Amino acid sequence: MSATGDANSANVGASSGGQRAAPLDIQIVPLKGLPIAAAALVLVIFSIASNSTWALMLTHVAGGGIWTAVDLFVGLVIGPILGGLSPPARVEFASKFMPKMVLLMPVLVMMTLAAGFQVAINYGNLYPESINRPWLIASMVVVGIMAVIALGILEPANIAVLFEMKKAPPDGDVIDHLMKRFVYTAGITGLMQVATLLIMTRVATQ
């Protein structure tokens, strides 16, 4: 039986006997993570306002490094594992994992792009006479595409999964489809992150 077929069977079984499965108790936005997100926002604002090279580099490198690691881990490690889990196990995992991603991805994108742009300006890499300008433009194109994917595809799919899980009963087909979209697009952005690493290391060594 297919994974979606199993998910349907699980839903039918949960609602058999005239009883509907209770919706999962899920926080769409994990409140415990809000102080961490706020701290990251304060760090970005402080880095740009103070124009501190150390603070800007810390923010940019930390944000970009974690963003790269998360994308690669989700796409290349978690994705194959999820494919081998039973539908109930997949739902249980998603109910714990997806709320954390609601806050994590926008924070990482903000840290990487905001601080990175300020660093590029400070080092003069965006001026026409800079030998790094073509590399920086290429990096901005790649990172811009990744940001659109992260905020325009990953985040809506993430939130849609959580809202679906709060229904009674949740639709296993919808959850399965959205989870696949989330994992596949995370893997794609992870591979694009590798291209960004190649570009940025080239810029740093010229």
pLDDT of 4 > 50? The answer is no
Arithmetic mean of pLDDT, 143-155: 84
pLDDT of 16 > 50? The answer is no
Domains of the chain, residue spans = 26-205
**Per-residue burial over 161-180, b = 16 or more CB atoms within 10 Å of its CB, e = otherwise:** bbebbeeebbebbbbbbbbe
Residue 170's alpha-carbon distances to 20, 163, 167, in angstroms, are: 10, 9, 5
Rounded Cα–Cα distance for residues 76 and 161 (Å):
20
Q: What is the pTM of this model?
A: 0.73
Identify the pLDDT of residue 168.
74
Task: Please tell me whether residue 76 adopts helix, strand or coil conformation.
Answer: helix
Going 50 to 147 to 157 to 89, the CA torsion angle's sign is: negative
pLDDT of 40 > 90? The answer is yes
Going 69 to 77 to 9 to 24, the CA torsion angle's sign is: negative
65-107 per-position pLDDT tens digit: 898 888 888 878 887 887 777 777 877 787 788 888 888 888 9
